[in-house]
Structure 1
Amino acid sequence: MTGISIRRWAGALTAVAAMLAGCGGGSSDAASTAKTQPITSVESRVQPASAVQDVASVKSRSANAAPKAAVVALGELSLSKVDTSSSIGPRLVGQARDITATKSAAETQTQWQWKDTAVGGKVAAISFRSEGAYGVRLGVLVKQLPGSAILRVYTQATPGSVYQISGQEILQLIERNQAAGDKTDQGRTWWTPDTGEGEATLEVELPPGVAVSTLDVAVPQLSHIFVNLSLPTEQEYQAQVATTKVNESDPCNLDATCYSENATERNAVARMSFVSGGLSYLCTGTLLNDGNSSGKPYFLSANHCISTQTAASTLQTNWFYRSPTCNSGTLQSTSIRKTGGAQLLYASSSTDMSFMLLNDTPPVGAVYAGWDANTVISGTSVTGLHHPSGDLLKISFGKVNSQTSCQSSAGNQFQCNGATGNFYQVTWSQGTTEGGSSGSALFQNGRVVGTLYGGAAVCTNRALSDYYGRFDVAYNAALKNWLAATPTSGSRTAVYRFFNAKTGAHFYTANAAERDFVIRTYPDFSYENVAFYAYPDSSTGKDPVFRFFNATSGAHFYSGSTAERDFVIANFPQFKYETISWYAQSAAGNGASPMFRFYNAKSGAHFYTINAAERDFVIQTYKDFQYEGAMYYAWTAAQ
């Protein structure tokens, strides 16, 4: 690592200035010392095969199903003005590019070439080409979008394999960004997954009854990935595929696959990619267990990587991103990418920690790492697991030399000095760290005790140090609110939403097995992902939500009122009472949000949404839908 300067301070203390590409300040600052309270440690747990997994977002279809796409072509990007020299902090891998042809909704409308769908809706697509890119992420600015719209992302080379997301899921993302205080266009932007090529096609399908003029969507910017982030699998390597890069990190980095004694914790580490201001970055993060081993996907990284909800919403994670055999230099075929982003729970510049709850369920076999909230004493042996330069998982061995205090200084530098503070000074006997390693966990005896801030460590000089935010300080300041063992009072469960374009009815279920059965059995039902969260049983003292089925209209009806349930049973014989679907609240409080209900007199179907923007869109757009108000209260997040 370059750019290190040594300074003398009063009292003969040495300070190290190191490059740090930061993304902005945290949402709150941790106390400089741990508060007095019992400090605990937690063991790791493995994600079992029985864990409910997300519905796959990548779908297969006939290539002929893709509509003809308009083409927006950007020329070659000049990288002469892009600063990629920093070897510390998030690794910059993508440059923002403005797109004139689709910079506004009005200009984007001129690009769509709408055609009718089989169910009476509309569909159109635009292909964006950024010459010389190894990947593209589109910044889709959404100001008005029906929740039952379907957006697809794919390449023209493989139109039969598409990433698919519902409008309501994008509206949830925007609502989360805005609730965190981002009212700007960046807060209203959905960043598509990286296509891994220099072209990305955005397809939009509108449900029946929605005029294309109501769509207020633009693509004013894309992120041009100028670094080849792909790695050959073992099979591709043996077939001599030479178009992908292998092991760009420094040569003294150690392949983590070679060290079986760290086999458990290495499955807790994920390579991160995210977008901030149109720029794409790489960092490293770690899945954490909590005191109840609840399976909630808490995720720890660095504040200088992700410090805002808007950036957290763009997060992609690569799991098991390592070699299949020691020093093979290839990517194992079991590596899995997740693209659902995260909810930012806490971010602090005091310890440079970012603490999130992933929106995706971690894959089977992923490890929720254990942690230790005791202070690490000087001389203790420690291990680092990280993705330097975005490379395959590497491991470093060293020791904690001391505590120290670190502060940001001029430009993109920071300074550390003293023998006390919120950070650990670490030197390595084997391995090192680089840009892209930021946010990675420091392990002691298999438990997390810190996260990488930055430093000067380099292969050619073992005496230079890295600096890790102290987990014990962050735990006592805030993380204990989520990670400490607490009396269990029930966990919220996801409620899944479907839309039947033929009947215009929505269906909701909190049962993952029923969700999967509907996906397999009823092709007319389009899965729209998680709609909201509620409780699965009465142990929390919440109120039941009842479910009916109307065989005449083919629609389901849900009510949070016992009196309404009894009235429907007594007066509407066509409504068959089925079950209690989930448990919610009849009044506001406990962080719950109102569930809005509509009734369509023509179809006899009811519609429910927890999203205020979608409520307003329905009121403005669907004149047949009569707004009935808030029926009960549920939650927009699992936590």
Structure 2
Amino acid sequence: MSCRIVFRLGSALSRHWLRLVPVLVVAGASGWAQASWQVEARSMPASPSTALTRQAAALSAPDVVPVVLPPWQGSKALVPDEGGVRQIGVARALGALDTAEKVASLLQWEALPSGQQVAAVQWMAPDAYGLRLGVEFAALPAVAVFRLYASPEASVSYEVTGAALLERLVADAQTGKRTWWTPDVGPAPVLEILLPATLAPSRLQWAMPQVSQMVVPPNMAVTHVGEVLQLDDAVVLTEKRRPNACQGDVNCQDSLLDQRDAVIRIFYVNQGRTFQCTATLINNPRQDLTPYVLTAAHCVGDQAAASTLQTSWFYYSQSCDSSQLFAGHTEMYGAARWLASSSANDMTLLQLNEPPPAGALFAGWDATALLPGTAVAGLHHPHGDLMMFAAGTAEDDAACKVDNGSRRLDCSAQTQSDGGFYHVRWSQGGIEGGSSGSALFVDGRLTATLTGGDIWCAAQDGRVVYGRLDQALASFAAWLGAEVAVNSGMQQPVYRFQVLKTGGAFYTVSSQERDLVIAALSHDLVFDGIAFYASARAHARLVPVHRYFNPNVGAHFYTTSDAERQFVQTYLPRWNYDGIAWWSPAQPGDGVEPVYRAYQYVPGVHLYSLQVQARDAWLADTGLLYDGLAYYVWDAP
């Protein structure tokens, strides 16, 4: 969704002022539309961070290759922030680095005393407020390590492994390449790459066809202290708060002081351009601290955008009406996993790839339909500013359509209480670009997320539209719904390794086994990320997938068939039984995909694929025996 949303209202609705008492009801066979569900808030306890940002004594590379970008020639007048998302960065093509061959000729690999190989490149854009590098991988070893520094002198880096990137990034359907948009750590970032001594640098192939250059001030001055890149305690914002009469500092009210620690300022990349919205960390019925985040679907609507997510936590003032940022502000760069979007409500559910910082609040939520006249409040980051507060009343329901192409929000009034959106009328505060995706609270619980409106900040009595959580909950039932406590072990990632010697594949649902293979067998197996999703435990609607291993060939075999198991155990004793690998859906259904299997006579391995194209190629290959359907899996969680 781009920056501008045009809001068109239909005729006013008749108002129903019957006062009802919300009741906790678990959704059942009668459907989600009539059900409500409440979850209370929970705070993130203080514990050692497991974030991927780690302390580094200093840059390891003795030499850093400089790349200076010429001044940006485009107009710095971006699309106006009239609701919707806020654009802060533009795409810039880099013809000098758009192929792996050009990058390889630029890198200067050197040996370290530890035996590792290292190379480092620094990008400099004198007219930029920040840079995000679009690193496009054609070949990515799992054992590669990437460190991002704000400058060669910085003592703290953001560090991520090739294995983590393979798991996080989506391969392009046409080229198979994966693009990593690095975090924004400033206008002159240094990318350092470390490889084991025994791994040829040619095994890593990457290019950088474009960067995203920040052309809008980021509203903060960044220094590097502690374990994450964050603000100095005494820093003052580099851009003053936008003057307007209607925004209210969150610290100048008392009702939502706890909830401010659940609200997040988010940044993401779409087609090389960087945008900012607002999101909220929420709790779940299991109360297990899984970092689920709600925002607008027109902000983050797929895995490609979720993989670029950068988050700002506790981004509010030090005190009421202060221009100084709270000293505990934290930036995090681990991105997120896209779980689902409800287009009918313009809402997306994400799961962060790293735990939130200590002190963050998992907001409570309430999926009860709001009655007209209900008092509501919103917390958001208008124009990327410090957190602001708005208050008003829920007015009526609306049926709306978000058009990403024309950047329009078309709404008509509803005569029934089953529309996908709420109309809210402000009596205090208002919204601006960057507010999209922010939470609407009732009695301290999240009940909707912001889509847009026709009157932004500078006038009271404005009307805006929020997507309804009670209507969207059906899309998020696997994570937030009534059966979530029962099915919490379902839909776990299954990891794939390519076996270099045979051309076959090895699969595991165990992250511990994944890490052991990466550490001990990196010369024999190449980690390829998430292949599909299955269950890590038994369930009545699932069947076990059994795993066998042939040490003579170095190949694995997977089956759900009892007949095949008996045949292998009776006639093929060289195949050792490894046990149950995972549990898969017993039959096809929504989101369930078949996995096809073929046997390659030489060297004697089985091939597996979800792709119909691969199946058709196997059928035409005389060197293969097509086995048919192997089992079912979830293609996405």
TM-score (norm 1): 0.72
When structure 1 is superposed on structure 2, of 163-172 and 200-209 the one drifting more is 200-209
Alpha-carbon distance change, 362 to 212 in structure 1, aligned in 2, over 3 angstroms: same
Q: Identify the match of residue 120 of structure 2 among 125, 135, 138.
A: 125
Within the alignment, does 1:388 sit opposite 2:385 as a pair? no
Q: Which residue of 1 aligns with 2:500?
A: none
Q: Which residue of 2 aligns with 1:49?
A: 45
Alpha-carbon distance change, 177 to 54 in structure 1, aligned in 2, over 3 angstroms: farther
Within the alignment, does 1:452 sit opposite 2:446 as a pair? no
Please give the secondary structure, in 1, of the residue aligned with 2:169.
helix
Contact 2:259 2:363 in 1 (8 A): yes
Q: Which residue of 2 aligns with 1:226?
A: 215
Contact 1:584 1:634 in 2 (8 A): no
Q: Which residue of 2 aligns with 1:253?
A: 247
Q: In 1, distance between residues paired with 2:179 and 2:395? A: 43
Q: Which residue of 2 aligns with 1:368?
A: 362
How far off is 1:539 after superposition? Answer: 8.8
When structure 1 is superposed on structure 2, of 394-403 and 167-176 the one drifting more is 167-176
- Amino acid paired to 1:392: L
When structure 1 is superposed on structure 2, of 583-592 and 199-208 the one drifting more is 583-592
Q: Which residue of 2 aligns with 1:479?
A: 476
Within the alignment, does 1:345 sit opposite 2:340 as a pair? yes
Contact 2:584 2:631 in 1 (8 A): yes
Alpha-carbon distance change, 263 to 66 in structure 1, aligned in 2, over 3 angstroms: same
Q: Which residue of 1 aligns with 2:193?
A: 204
Q: In 1, distance between residues paired with 2:179 and 2:586? A: 32
Q: Which residue of 2 aligns with 1:105?
A: 100
Deviations 1:422-470 (A, max 9, x none): 2211111111111000011111222222211111334442233111122
Q: In 1, distance between residues paired with 2:111 and 2:221? A: 40
- Amino acid paired to 2:36: T
- Amino acid paired to 2:435: S
Contact 2:380 2:388 in 1 (8 A): yes
Alpha-carbon distance change, 475 to 515 in structure 1, aligned in 2, over 3 angstroms: closer
Q: Identify the match of residue 214 of structure 1 among 203, 222, 227.
A: 203
Deviations 1:481-508 (A, max 9, x none): 43212162553789999xxxxxxxxxx9
- Superposed CA RMSD: 5.5
Q: Identify the match of residue 324 of structure 1 among 318, 323, 341.
A: 318
Deviations 1:556-580 (A, max 9, x none): xx999999xx9xxxx9xxxxxxx99
Please give the secondary structure, in 1, of the residue aligned with 2:477.
helix
Please give the secondary structure, in 2, of the residue aligned with 1:480.
helix
Within the alignment, does 1:359 sit opposite 2:320 as a pair? no
Structure 2 unpaired stretches of 5+: 14-29, 497-506, 516-526, 548-555, 560-564, 598-607, 612-629
1:64-463 pair list within 5 angstroms: 65-80=60-75, 82-118=77-113, 120-175=115-170, 178=173, 183=174, 188-231=177-220, 241=235, 244-248=238-242, 250-328=244-322, 329-348=324-343, 350-408=344-402, 411-420=406-415, 421-463=419-461
Alpha-carbon distance change, 161 to 494 in structure 1, aligned in 2, over 3 angstroms: farther
TM-score (norm 2): 0.72
Contact 1:321 1:332 in 2 (8 A): no
Alpha-carbon distance change, 206 to 531 in structure 1, aligned in 2, over 3 angstroms: farther
- Amino acid paired to 1:318: S
Alpha-carbon distance change, 3 to 150 in structure 1, aligned in 2, over 3 angstroms: closer
How far off is 1:531 after superposition? Answer: 8.0
How far off is 1:99 after superposition? Answer: 1.2
Q: Which residue of 2 aligns with 1:521?
A: none
- Amino acid paired to 2:425: T
Identity of counterpart residues, as a percentage? 31
Alpha-carbon distance change, 172 to 474 in structure 1, aligned in 2, over 3 angstroms: same
Contact 1:370 1:447 in 2 (8 A): yes
How far off is 1:137 after superposition? Answer: 0.6
How far off is 1:544 after superposition? Answer: 11
Contact 1:123 1:206 in 2 (8 A): yes
Contact 2:92 2:211 in 1 (8 A): yes
When structure 1 is superposed on structure 2, of 429-438 and 366-375 the one drifting more is 366-375
- Amino acid paired to 2:294: L
Alpha-carbon distance change, 515 to 85 in structure 1, aligned in 2, over 3 angstroms: same
Q: In 1, distance between residues paired with 2:514 and 2:329? A: 25
How many correspondences in the alignment? 581
How far off is 1:243 after superposition? Answer: 6.6
Q: In 2, distance between residues paired with 1:426 and 1:35? A: 26
Alpha-carbon distance change, 373 to 81 in structure 1, aligned in 2, over 3 angstroms: same
Deviations 1:3-47 (A, max 9, x none): 9989897x799xxxxxxxxxxxxxxxxxxxx95655122222314
How far off is 1:289 after superposition? Answer: 2.6
Contact 1:82 1:95 in 2 (8 A): no
